[in-house]
Amino acid sequence: MVNEEIEKEGQDTSSTIGKAGTTVKEGIVQSLKGINEIEAEIVSLVRNTVSQTLRATGGVAGEAIGVTRDVVKGAIQATEEVGTGLVMSTKSVAKGVIMGVGDVGGDAMSVAGQTVKAAVSGAAEIGADIALVARSAVDGVVDAVKETGGNAGNAAGIAVNGAIEAAGSIGQTAVKAVKDILLGAVEGVKEVAGAALPRSGASAPAPPPPAKSPAPAEPLESTTIPKGRMRTK
């Protein structure tokens, strides 16, 4: 009888824990779906704003960089006001900027570096984690270029260089932090990031060994017959 009661209690406990796990799982699924929807909304908002602004000005080449900086600045101010969401929103903002420029026939590559630079500089101004922001911005640029059929490798290189340049104006600590996170975390373009950001302390390739001098030729045996001597048959 006692054994039956203990067994029943064990089953009830397992059932309760199982329900708790299911509840958490369902809650997280809904939250993640909500995050995806928020990110999609930010991309759409930024994309439409950038494309409409550039159409209104009529000068894609001249205005794209200015619009990019303005949009990124506005996004950073929004997250500062709310107090959270900078890293998450940076990727969506960068993606929206690149796609918006592409929608009006602009050169997305020309604003890729500027987008990342603006994000890193803005993050530094409000004391945010510039390395995480740099990674997020680069990922957003690469995602956008992939979706529009562009060269993701070239975009990654330009974006990475933009991040380094912006970090360089902040300090060497910032440069190291940006390099470290981009080397290991740029989605799908690790080879490009590695090429653009050689690891510090890496040894230079060893010079080729000097060419060996040719060995001196052995002296040939003389076939001259000394005077006074004759060959014997």
| Secondary structure of 1-24 in HEC code, one letter for each residue | CHHHHHHHHHHHHHHHHHHHHHHH
Which residues contact residue 174 at a Cβ distance below 8 angstroms, ignoring those fewer than 6 apart? 124, 130, 131, 167, 168
* Within a domain: 186: yes
pLDDT at 201 over 70: no
215 part of a folded domain = no
- Listed ranges 29-43, 128-142, 175-189, 198-212; the one with the highest mean pLDDT: 128-142
- What average pLDDT does range 189-207 have in this prediction? 47
Q: Percentage of the chain with pLDDT > 70?
A: 70
Residue 218 resides in a domain: no
User: Which pLDDT belongs to residue 221?
Assistant: 47
Query: Is the pLDDT assigned to residue 227 strictly greater than 80?
Result: no
- Report how many domains make up the chain: 1
Q: Which of 12-16, 60-64, 133-137, 180-184 has the highest mean pLDDT?
A: 133-137
Examine the pLDDT at 60 and tell me if it is beyond 70: no
Start-to-end CA span in the chain (Å)? 125
**13 class by beta-carbon count within 10 Å (0-12 exposed, 13-18 middle, 19+ buried):** exposed
In a domain, 36, yes or no: yes
Contact between 187 and 139 (Cβ < 8 Å): yes
What would the two tokens of residue 155 be? 């975009």
Q: Within 10 Å of residue 140's Cβ, how many Cβ atoms?
A: 29
Name which residue leads in pLDDT, 101 or 208: 101
Whether residue 143 is contained in a domain is answered as yes
Q: Is residue 134 part of a domain?
A: yes
Look-up: residue for tokens 């000005």?
57
| pLDDT reading at 205 higher than 80 | no
The confidence score (pLDDT) of residue 191 equals 52
pLDDT of residue 28: 85
Residue 214 lies in a domain: no
Average pLDDT over residues 36-53: 91
Q: Does the residue 51 lie in any domain?
A: yes
Percent pLDDT > 90 in the chain is 34
Alpha-carbon distance of 163 to 166, in angstroms, equals 5
CB neighbourhood size of 214 (10 A): 6
Instruction: Inform me whether the pLDDT recorded for 108 exceeds 80.
Output: yes
Position 115 scores a pLDDT of: 93
Residue range of the domain that includes 59: 2-196
What value, to the nearest 5°, has the Cα angle with vertex 223 and ends 218 and 224? 125
